[in-house]
């Protein structure tokens, strides 16, 4: 069994979609990034890469590579799953958190969990996603950005 942790953060800006966990969430701002800037999916991918000891998101998908410009991060998660599968591992469980002052994430969490379960070929009961605010503190509390953390347990198949 192997454990990995992931973290990601992106700045909120005008004229971008807010995509988190593969869900387009209605909001007046979106996250800035080379790809779709999906902080939750990026943190999850990094936790898988960490558990596999194969580097990080930037190593596999450099922001200097134009082929990743605007890419759907769920496609990047499919790559992480393929690598995990080829190395002989499967998901034990995932625990993820989204840190955002706004918008409310609760209405979208089940769809995010389903997106991840489908791609990672695991039961929905193996995936937990929660959200919190920072009570108005820091860059997330000031609505300047959104961050996310994830931890995964991988098991040998």
14 labelled binding-site residue: no
pLDDT at position 108, please? 98
112 labelled binding-site residue: no
CATH code of residue 25: 3.30.1330.50
pLDDT at position 14, please? 97
39 labelled binding-site residue: no
140 labelled binding-site residue: no
144 labelled binding-site residue: no
Average pLDDT over residues 68-74: 94
Question: What's the whole-number average pLDDT of the chain?
Answer: 96
134 labelled binding-site residue: yes
The model's pLDDT over 6-65, given as tens digits with 9 standing for 90+, comes to 999 999 999 999 999 999 999 999 999 999 999 999 999 999 999 999 999 999 999 899
Which residue range forms the structural domain that includes residue 79? 2-156
Question: Of all residues in the chain, what percent carry a pLDDT higher than 90?
Answer: 96
Instruction: Provide the number of structural domains found in the chain.
Output: 1
CA–CA separation, 80 and 83 (whole Å): 5
């Amino acid at each position: 069994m192997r454990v990995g942790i992931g973290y990601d953060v992106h700045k909120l800006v005008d004229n971008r979609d807010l995509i988190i966990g593969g869900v387009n969430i209605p909001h007046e701002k979106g996250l800035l990034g080379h790809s779709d800037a999906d902080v939750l999916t990026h943190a999850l991918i990094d936790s898988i890469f960490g558990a596999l000891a194969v580097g990080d998101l930037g190593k596999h998908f450099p922001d200097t590579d134009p082929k990743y410009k605007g890419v759907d991060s769920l496609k990047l998660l499919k790559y992480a799953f393929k690598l995990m599968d080829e190395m002989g591992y499967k998901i034990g469980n995932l625990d993820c958190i989204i840190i955002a002052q706004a918008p409310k994430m609760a209405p979208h969490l089940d769809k995010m969990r389903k997106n991840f379960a489908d791609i990672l070929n695991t039961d929905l009961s193996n995936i937990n996603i929660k959200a919190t605010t920072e009570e108005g503190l820091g860059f997330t509390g000031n609505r300047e950005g959104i961050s996310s953390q994830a931890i995964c347990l991988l098991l040998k198949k």
